A and B are shown apart, each in its own frame.
Chain A
Amino acid sequence: DIVVTQSPDSLAVSLGERATISCKSSQSVLYNSDNKNYLAWYQQRPGQPPQLLIYWASTRESGVPDRFSGSGSGTDFTLTISSLQAEDVAVYYCQQYYSTPRAFGQGTKVEIK
């Protein structure tokens, strides 16, 4: 089974500053036949279900602000919020969809400093 680990568990960032979250998988999630990384990022605001932000490691879902970006390949991935806004306070999860079980990272809580 693939294990997915995020870091840090939480971070506090000033408004307008950059937030960076790391996600590491225990095995590569790069599928050679299509050269795609089977890794997604979700945002969960308090009291809400998760919402898809990024898929294929770096493709923004429709409607997601361009201050959110995803990068990485293989086993190491990063979610970056380039200029933190108040509405970005949430818990962020990465998930591999390369294989079942579809493991999630433990989550990273982003707060305003």
Chain B
Amino acid sequence: QVQLVESGGGVVQPGRSLRLSCAASGFTFSTYPMHWVRQAPGKGLEWVAVTSADGRDKFYADSVKGRFTISRDNSKNTLYLQMNSLTTEDTAVYYCVREKPYNDYWGQGTLVTVSS
């Protein structure tokens, strides 16, 4: 069965960096575009970024452009999100999501808290 397991969240100070990972299993990872979607505490869903199946094409929300980098290693079935220059506004649960092209599978999420 399809599984998406995020890791790498935690508490980080403003201005610092963090890298999230998402381990995928149960499907042919290299054939699906993948997304990151986040949800601030008590708030709605915010789309963050997408990478094409081969990793060549990447698109970002304006709120993270220039600070976040999405990438993937298809040999390891793993999706990444490198987050730099973090601010308190980035505090959220980050979900790894498969595209079909609708988002059919979501991970359980990993919590990132940006606080001094």
Residues of A participating in the B interface, judged by any CB pair closer than 8 Å: 38, 40, 42, 44, 49-52, 55-56, 61, 91, 93, 95, 97, 100-107
Minimum distance in angstroms from A64 CB to a CB of chain B: 12
Residues of B participating in the A interface, judged by any CB pair closer than 8 Å: 35, 44-47, 50, 59, 61-62, 95, 99-109
B104: A residues at CB distance < 8 A: 52, 55, 61
Check if B103 sits within 8 Å of A52, measured CB to CB.
Answer: yes
Residue pairs across A and B with CB atoms within 8 Å: the count is 57
Check if A93 sits within 8 Å of B44, measured CB to CB.
Answer: yes
A107: B residues at CB distance < 8 A: 44-45
Minimum distance in angstroms from B100 CB to a CB of chain A: 8
Q: Which residue of B lies closest to A104 (CB)?
A: B45
Check if A93 sits within 8 Å of B45, measured CB to CB.
Answer: yes
| Complex Cα–Cα for A107 and B105 (A) | 19
Check if B47 sits within 8 Å of A103, measured CB to CB.
Answer: yes
Check if B103 sits within 8 Å of A40, measured CB to CB.
Answer: yes
Known: A100-B50, A101-B59, A101-B61. A52 touches B44 (CB 8 A): no
